[in-house]
Amino acid sequence: MAADGFQLPFTPEVERETRPVWDKVQRHVTPMEWRAQAPLIAAINRLKAEKDAVILAHNYMTPEIFHGVGDFVGDSLALAKEAARSKARIIVQAGVHFMAETSKVLSPDKTVLIPDLRAGCSLAASITGADVRLIKQRYPGVPVVTYVNTTAEVKAETDICCTSANAVQVVEEAARLFGTDRVILIPDEFLARNVARQTDIRIIAWQGRCEVHERFTAADILEIKAAYPDAEVLAHPECPAEVIEVSDFTGSTAAMNDYVLTRKPKRVVLITECSMADNVAADVRETEFVRPCNLCPHMKRITLENIYETLLTGRHEVTVDPAIAERARLAVQRMVDLPPPATPARYDLVKARHHVDVELI
């Protein structure tokens, strides 16, 4: 059955059931679209209960997924923690493939499903397990910290994983555990450069890039600031360092969400994937969002239609070779077991303490 071939009726019952979701998403969805989406949301929520499934939805999912069917929503770190904790029999990953693999690694006895197997990631595609083995030969004794945006095969070669929410904390922890002043932080070059500016640990980096965040430039930010002088600019740490330099705050998708929810700025710009602002805007009506953004083509492969199809058919199951999963689990679990990263008490600029450069492999 084609994923877009479901024609479920928009009944008064469906309308009633999905009204709270409509109240949230109506500024981002047209009434015409809603007539197709609402019956799918109602059907997905029924199927989840029948099949003992939960949906883990990343902050970059479109609003009808994020607010309509996500049981747990958040950044990569929050979703990994939820995968480890969840009691459900089935996890549906409304996100990209590396996230589904991370869920499987942490919950080997559960069935992990992804609605579209093509939902990849340019960072995960930038490095292989064989690359990491060569790096370790070149830098013996230097701990390897790997961003979760990698395959399970790469995580298996890793000492400890990190996300954008805890990268500085993990790098410092790895250096402490291994008694070194150098850490290999791969594969995101820009995350590595941004971490290097917030720690005294020397960073060895790989030249992987997020295809969404690498496209922002300092000139884009300065142009926005000139047009909207009162706008607060929050940038994801996968952006180039020159972008962070001219932004007002940098943090993971969860940290950005937290910033807006807590501070309710008059006007804000989220330098990240497009759905992020839509999802936060649904919760914070008093803030105006200026919206330059880039779409992640991988995240956008996940739709209500293919989530429904996944729950109906059990396609596509994500598996990880048990030997690889066992080694990858150590690296992910070490991260999950760390205390939560410190939320800035005041949302001052989390910016360069110094301009230390990274060593590129």
- Of 306, 339, 289, nearest to 77 by C-alpha is 339
Residue 359: which of 133, 124, 138 has the closest Cα?
A: 138
Q: Is the dihedral of CA 344, 187, 54, 110 positive or negative?
A: negative
Distance CA 183, CA 180 (A): 7
Task: Map residues 89-128 to x or -, x wherever contact with ligand 13P holds by CB under 6 A.
Answer: ----------------------------------------
Q: Which stretch binds ligand 13P (CB under 6 A): 74-82, 182-190, 199-207, 315-323?
A: 74-82
**123 lies in the site for ligand SF4, by CB under 6 A:** yes
Which of ligand SF4, ligand 13P, none interacts with 250 (beta carbon under 5 to 8 A by kind)?
none
Mask for 288-317, x = binds ligand SF4 (CB under 6 A) = --------x-xx------------------
Question: Interface with ligand SF4 includes 94 (CB under 6 A)?
Answer: no
188 touches ligand 13P by CB under 6 A: no
Q: Is 47 left (phi over 0), alpha (psi -120 to 50) or beta?
A: alpha
Identify which range of 9-17, 70-78, 198-206, 222-230 contacts ligand 13P by CB under 6 A: 70-78
**Closest separation between CB of residue 160 and ligand SF4, Å?**
19
**Interaction partner, residue 59 (ligand SF4, ligand 13P, none; CB < 5-8 Å by kind):** ligand 13P
Q: Using the rule CB under 6 A, is 149 a contact of ligand SF4?
A: yes
Considering the complex, state which of residue 22 and residue 147 has its C-beta at the smaller distance from ligand 13P: 147
Which of the stretches 14-22, 100-108, 161-169, 318-326 binds ligand 13P when contact is defined by CB under 6 A?
161-169
Q: Is 149 in the site for ligand 13P (CB under 6 A)?
A: yes
Neighbours of 80 (CB within 10 A): 24
H helices present in the chain, as ranges: 12-25, 31-51, 63-66, 76-85, 97-106, 129-138, 152-155, 167-178, 189-196, 218-227, 241-245, 253-263, 274-281, 304-313, 322-336
Select from 37, 62, 151, 163 the one that contacts ligand 13P (CB under 6 A).
163
Q: Tell whether residue 125 is a contact of ligand SF4 (CB under 6 A).
A: no
| 3-state SS, residue 232 | strand
d(CA 210, CA 196): 18
Burial (CB count within 10 angstroms: exposed 0-12, middle 13-18, buried 19+), residue 317 = middle
**Pick from 75, 116, 189, 273: which binds ligand SF4 (CB under 6 A)?**
273
Counted residue by residue, the chain has a size of 361
Question: How near is the Cβ of 87 to ligand 13P at its closest, in Å?
Answer: 24
The dihedral over CA atoms of 62, 63, 64, 67, expressed in degrees to the nearest 10, equals: 130
Q: Which of 93, 111, 253, 279 binds ligand 13P (CB under 6 A)?
A: 253
**Binds 53, which of ligand SF4, ligand 13P, none (CB < 5 to 8 A, cut-off by type)?**
none
